[in-house]
Chains A and B, each alone.
Chain A
Amino acid sequence: MDGRFLHFRHPQARVGGWKRGGLILAILALGLAVTPENRVTAAPSDTVVIYGGRILTVTHGEIANGSVLIVDGKIKEIGEKVDAPPGAQVILAEGMVVMPGIVDTHSHIGVYSWPEVDANSDGNEMTDPVQAGVRAMDSVNLEDPAIQRALAGGVTSIQILPGSGNVIGGESVTVKLRPGSTMDEMIFAGAPRGLKMALGENPKRVYGSRTKLPSTRMGNIYVMRNAFQQAKDYRAKWDAWEKKPADERGAPPERDLKLETLSDVLAGKVRVHVHCYRKDEIEALFRLSDEYGFQVASLQHGLEAYKVADEVSRRNIGVATFAHWWGYKWEAWDGIPQNAGILAEHGVKVAIHSDSPDLIQRLYEEAAIAMRYGLSREDALKSITLNPAWMLGVDNRVGSLEVGKDADIAIFSKDPFDIYTQVEKTLVDGKVVYDRSKASGAPQAGGSQ
C-alpha cells in the first residue's frame, strides 16, 4: 500500500478518486475499535486493515464479513471485528474476497524471462546432465515483465526452478514477489533450499539427440544413482578428514560444488522436487530415494501420480500438477484432469502449479477446473495456497490467513473460482504490490496500450 491511499490521518487524500460516496463516514462506522491507547498516537503507516471482505482463511474456514489487521507485515488479528488503531491504512474489501496470496511451486519466471528469445534462455544448463552446482538465483532477470503479471494473478510466493533438460538441473530459489527489489530482497528468507531433478522424456531427448548418456529412462536413473553414489563417497571423504585430529588432517579434500549440493540432499538439508510424468518413472524414483535415503518433497507435474496415489500418500510426498493440460507429449498421454482430485482423495497434498508465466496469472481458474473434475473446494483452495507452501517448507509463514503469519494476501472481486473474478489487490508482507485500479501495464481494459 503506498502512502497515498486511504489514511486516517489524511482522509481526503484519495477521496476524490474513490467512486463511493460517504467514505469517511463509512470508515468511522466500520466498527473499527479505537482503543484509548492508540487514540492519541497514530499507528505507524505499516499498520493496515483490510475491512469488510469475505475471508477465506484456508485453515479456519470462512468469515462471511470480516477484517484483517496487519502490523509490520504480519497478520495481527483476523475476525469479524479487529482492533484497528487510528492512522491505520484501510483497504476496503466490501463485497470482495480476501484470501492468502497464491503460492506456485513451479515457475521459471526470470530464468526464462519474457520475451522468449535465446538471449533470455537461462533456465537449463544443458552442458552436462548433472548440474547440481548451478543455482537458479544466478539466472533470474528481476525485470521480467511476467513478475507484474503474476502479481496481477494474486501470486505472492514462487519457487523458481531450473528447467528439466538435465537429470539434475540445479538449485531452485523460493522468492516473494516484491517487484523492483534486488535478488537479496526477493529471496524468501528462511525458506529451505530446493533441488530440481528430472525424469522421463526431456533429459533423455536432450542428451540422446547428442548420442550421449542418458538416452533412456534407465539412463536417467543411472545418472542420478551415480551422482548420489559420488556424493555419498564425497561426504565420507570429508567426514574422514574432519574426524582426524587437526595436526594429522593435511590438506582438505578438493571441493566439488555439485557433490556438495547432493551430499546436502543426502543430509536432509535440501528439498528435492522431481519433474516426472509416468507411473514407472515415479516408482523408479522411489527405489532410488530408498536406496540413498533421501526424502522427495514433491513430484512436479506427476501426471500419472494418480496411478500410484496410495504409495505417494504413504511416503508423504506432495504432488504439484496441472489441472488439465495433457497429451502434449507421449508421457503426458495418460494425464487426466481427475489427477488432483484422485490424489487428494488418497490423502496426498496436491498443488496446482503453473510452469508458465501465462498460467501463473490464473492459478485460481486452474484450481476451479480441477474442482470441475473432482477436487473438493477445500482442497482446491489449499492447492494454490497451503499445499504448495508445505512443499516448499514455508507453510509456517504463508499459505493461510492466520495470526502470526506473513501478510501475503490476494483480494479478489468475486469468488476465486468464478471465471469472472479479478484480483483487485495483492499484498506482500502487508504492502500493496498490485492494485488493479492503478496498475499500468496490467492486462485489463485501460491497462496497457
Chain B
Amino acid sequence: MSAPRMTRGMPTAESRRPAGSRLLSCLALFGACLLGSTSGLRGAEKAAAATASPAVAIVGGKVFPVSGPVIEGGTLLLRNGKIEAVGKGIAIPSDAQRIDATGQWVLPGMIDSRTHLGLWEIDLDPVTRDEDEDTDPITPQMRVVDAFYDETENVPVTRQLGITSALTTPGDENLINGQSALVDLSGGDLEQVLIKFPVAMHFSLGEPPKARYGARTQLPSTRMGSAALIRSSLLQARDYLTKWDAYEQKKLACDTAKPSKGKGKKKDEKCPAERPAVDMKLAALSSVLKGDLPAIFRAQRMDDILTSIRLSEEFKLRLILSHAAEAYKVADLLAAKHIPVIVGPITTQPDRIETLGAIYDNAARLNGAGVKLAIQTDRTNDARTLPWEAGLAVTYGLPWDVALRSVTLSPAEIFGVADRVGSLEPGKRADVIVTTGDPFQPLTQVKHLFIRGVERSLRTRQDDLADKYR
C-alpha cells in the first residue's frame, strides 16, 4: 500500500480484475525461457556501455564512497557512464565539466530494495496496475519486464530524492509471484534502464496469499496450505528439471553417437531423444532450484520466517528475506545462516495480526546480530520516502554508516550487482548524487544526480503544477 490512509473511509479494496499485463509471449523467446534463466532481453550492460557521456569532475565535496572511508574535499571523476577516479588530489582533465561540491556531500545514488515502479501508476485503479497477476497462487513465470511502463510519473518523483535505482517486483498476494528486475531511474526505455533481470524469484508467506485465496475457498487458505503448495510446486519443478537433464544428456549422446555409427540402418530406438513438453511455470522455478536465481521470501511473522528457512533448506534455495517484521526475534539464527534481510518499511506498524511484533529497531537489532541488511520502502507513489525510512532506522539505533550501506552497497551485493552499482569506485556505473548534507534529513536537498554519468533532471510534474498555481 502506498498510503496508509487508503483503508480509511473506504470499503476494503474490491477484488481486482486480472491485471492486463502486456504478456510478452515467452514462446517468442523460446530458447531464452526454456529454463527461465535468461531474460530474453538485450544485455543491459551493453546498453550502458554504449553510453558515451562527457567527463564530469565533482570537486571539493565530502565524498562517501561507502566501500571505503569518507574523503573530505575529494574529487570524483566520471567518464563514459562510469566512475573513472575517486580520491583526493586527482588531476582534473581539461575536457571535464567541473561541478563545485564544496560544502556538499557526494554519495552513491540510493537503491530502493522493493518498489513496483513501472508496474503501478495509481494504487486504487487496477487498470493502471500490472504487478500482481491475481489469478493463480503460483505464478513464477510472471516477469516484471513484460509490464514495465517506462514513462511512469513515479520515477521522476522518486529520483528527486536521490534514489537512482530500484528493485521493481511483482506483488505479494500469490505464493510465488514472479521475477523482479533492478532498474535505474533515468526514465529511459527498458533496454536502457535495466540493470539486471531477473534478479530474484519472489515468494510470499503469511496473510496476503491466504487471505486472497481463502476468500475464494481455494488453496491456500492457511499457512500450512501455503507451505504445502509451494513445496509441491518446487517438487514438480525438481522432477521437471530431472526430466530435462535426462533429455539433454540423451540428446547429447544421440547427437554424438550418430556420426560414429555412420549411415547404418540400425538406428538406436531410443534416439532421437524425446523432448519433454515445456512448462513455463516449472521452467521458471528450475532456475531457482539450480541456484541461478535467489528466492526472496516475503515473511513477517517469526514462524513464517522459519517456514521460509525450512523450505529453502529443503530445496537448497538461495534465500533472501524481505519485509521481516519479526526477524529480530531470530536475528542470531539469520546471522548464523548468512541470510540477508531486506527490512521495511521501517515504519511497519503492529496494525495487522502478522505484524503485531513490529518494532522500529528491527533493523538495528538485526545489524547488531551481524545480519546483512537492505532497506525497502515497498512503496511506489511515495518511494521517495526511502531516505527518511533509512533515517528513522538510525533514530532507532542503526549506525548511520550501516543505514547508508543498506540503501547502497548492501542491496547491490544482495542482488548480485555490486560490481556495477552501490559504491563510488572506479569502473562502476556513475550513479551519483550531490546533496546539501545528510541525505536522510528531510530538509536536505539533492543538487545534482547522475545516472550512468549523465546528469538527470530533478524536476517533476508536481513541480510544474506548483509553478502553475503558486
Contact = CB atoms under 8 A, between A and B. Distances in A.
Interface of A: 108, 112, 114-117, 123-124, 126, 145-146, 149, 163-165, 169, 198, 201-202, 205-206, 209, 275, 306-307, 309, 322, 324-330, 332-334, 336-338, 342, 345, 355-359, 362, 365, 368-369, 371-372, 374, 417-422, 443-445, 447-448
Contact of B353 (A115, A275, A362): A115
A327 B154 contact: yes
Interface stretch (B29-37, B191-199, B438-446): B438-446
A327 B381 contact: yes
A154 to B, nearest CB: 14
Interface in B388-404: 388, 391-392, 394-397
A355 B382 contact: no
Interface of B: 1-11, 14, 121-125, 153-154, 157, 347, 349-353, 356-357, 359-361, 364-365, 381-382, 384-385, 388, 391-392, 394-397, 440-443, 445, 462-463, 465-466, 469-470
Contact of A419 (B124, B352, B381, B391): B391
Contact of B462 (A123, A336, A445): A336
Contact of B395 (A209, A338, A421): A421
B443 A417 contact: yes
Contact of A164 (B8, B391, B441): B8
Given A165-B10, A333-B122, A309 B352 contact: no
Given A355-B8, A419-B395, A445-B397, A330 B364 contact: no
B442 A342 contact: no
B466 A306 contact: yes
Nearest to B123: A328
Given A275-B9, A369-B388, A443-B360, 20 more contacts: A116-B351, A205-B10, A209-B11, A327-B121, A327-B122, A329-B6, A330-B122, A333-B122, A338-B463, A338-B465, A338-B466, A342-B470, A359-B4, A365-B442, A368-B442, A372-B445, A417-B442, A417-B443, A419-B391, A419-B441
A114 B9 contact: no
B122 A419 contact: no
Contact of A327 (B2, B10, B397): B2
Contacts of B388: 365, 369, 419
B353 A198 contact: no
Nearest to A196: B9
Contact of B122 (A126, A163, A328): A328
B9 A325 contact: no
B470 A329 contact: no
Contacts of B356: 115
A19 B397 CA distance: 19
B359 A447 contact: yes
A112 B9 CA distance: 10
Contacts of B443: 368, 371-372, 417
| Residue from the set B8, B123, B397, B463 with the largest chain A CB neighbour count within 10 Å | B8
A445 B122 contact: no
Contacts of A325: 2-3, 5, 381-382
Nearest to A443: B360
